[in-house]
Structure 1
């Protein structure tokens, strides 16, 4: 049985949504089959992007972490190559998708699953969810971008605390830190509703937002200011902006519909 499932659905508003589900019982461990499946799924999303993506999991936990067999006996060069591959084939392509990406965590979310969440735009969690980057148990540091993305969201001191202690942190705590965007009793339903709303929005404008924020991440406010005029200026050629401006002028705000074009 394939350890992931990628489905494309159409929302009530007619927008295409992709739902990527981890389904690798009993613990959704990130073994080689899981990494290979996610790599293929992300490649498919890159080749044919929808208007929004939801990442979620089946089972009691989101993931119990990485199958440690993957690390056994690796040389320095092989270890470095592993991390480069995961950045190149999962983390960076996921971040660069030209649409909103939402992650729903309903239970325990460890190591690679948490690092993938940190590469998404918005993280929703259940009150029962717990998160951890526990790589110190095998003498590692998280190496799929978790520490730096955690530092971006919560500050460097919090990132060092979470990684160095190897502790588990509940959703409420990470919400106060700014890592989790919001906490919901029925996180799957909330995430699906949010993704549907985002997918019905101005997709090109959402992509522009991601590009501007990415410029800030790489070069600060000055760099973001440099790229904003061209990135945002290009939106004036989109049907969504033209139609929304006309709708605003004709019937007032909040009445426009978007096609993603």
Structure 2
């Protein structure tokens, strides 16, 4: 598929997806969300892809929010559909992927941009990055999961403050509160994310996928995360990766995982 708003590449089993709307500070619109959904789905199905890195073009913005002009005149029903469709096609979709996704936050991550980063499994920020959910300053609330994922990551009180003040936090503040895992100079950002990806790729893709599902289960209403962990743990015993991992350990060699 030819994309207009994103770029994709794969190198050494790492697929990089880059949001490429520099004149709009990589803002999300419907077309970009559709393209991102397609790119993530394609990468997840590609057996060559072991890790996905998501970033934005340029040095100013990861994603500077949603494209406000696109929905400024929406009705109540259209607003509901906008949030529901976006969450299902992209934000929830990314969170549920069995392939690990690293957000390389290379600048502003505001509104939908921060919500997208929070849907990824790991966040790494450049030292010039600033993050926030400014929606209440526009008379609306975060609609792509921000009111749910931000408290999970930094706690209810801090999340309430960020959302209600519509303020931005620096990369260092984001690191202190657990919103991002690491902060790097922008020049080192992608190399560092690649290093994390390479560490992940030494391990079982099957086990990583099950671990993602088990961690997510703790935050799903009506689902017992401990039960999911127990069942997933048991399923691992029936995989080729388990047989290879345990055999390699006993034979004192490095495991070569097939992801099956």
Scaled by the length of structure 1, what TM-score is found? 0.90
Matched, 1:73 2:70: no
1:210-229 superposed matches below 5 A: 210-219=212-221, 223-229=224-230
How much is the aligned-residue C-alpha RMSD, in angstroms?
Answer: 1.9
1:177-196 superposed matches below 5 A: 177-185=177-185, 186-196=188-198
Structure-1 separation of matches of 2:199 and 2:259 = 13
Structure-2 separation of matches of 1:62 and 1:228 = 33
Structure-1 separation of matches of 2:132 and 2:46 = 32
Partner SS state of residue 251, structure 1: coil
Residue 14 (structure 2) aligns with: 17
Per the TM alignment, residue 235 of structure 1 is displaced from its structure 2 partner at its CA by 1.0
Structure-1 separation of matches of 2:100 and 2:44 = 13
Matched, 1:164 2:164: yes
Deviations 1:103-130 (A, max 9, x none): 0012111111110110111000111111
Range with bigger deviation, 240-249 or 153-162: 240-249
Residue 32 (structure 1) aligns with: 30
Structure-2 separation of matches of 1:193 and 1:52 = 11
Residue 8 to residue 170, structure 1, CA distance change in 2 (3 Å): same
Deviations 1:14-49 (A, max 9, x none): xx3221111111211223332232232233335446
Structure-2 separation of matches of 1:179 and 1:162 = 12
Which runs of 5 or more residues in structure 2 are unaligned? none
1:1-261 superposed matches below 5 A: 2-9=4-11, 11=12, 16-26=13-23, 27-48=25-46, 50-60=49-59, 61-185=61-185, 186-219=188-221, 223-251=224-252, 255-261=254-260
Counterpart contact for 2:214–2:229, Cα < 8 Å: yes
Counterpart contact for 1:153–1:179, Cα < 8 Å: yes
Counterpart contact for 2:44–2:99, Cα < 8 Å: no
Structure-2 separation of matches of 1:64 and 1:98 = 27
Partner SS state of residue 41, structure 2: helix
Counterpart contact for 1:126–1:183, Cα < 8 Å: yes
Partner SS state of residue 21, structure 1: strand
Counterpart contact for 1:43–1:89, Cα < 8 Å: no
Structure-2 separation of matches of 1:193 and 1:247 = 23
Scaled by the length of structure 2, what TM-score is found? 0.91
**Aligned length in residues:** 253
Which runs of 5 or more residues in structure 1 are unaligned? none
Counterpart contact for 1:42–1:89, Cα < 8 Å: no
Partner SS state of residue 220, structure 2: helix
Counterpart contact for 1:201–1:260, Cα < 8 Å: no
Per the TM alignment, residue 196 of structure 1 is displaced from its structure 2 partner at its CA by 2.6
Deviations 1:183-204 (A, max 9, x none): 1221111012212321332111
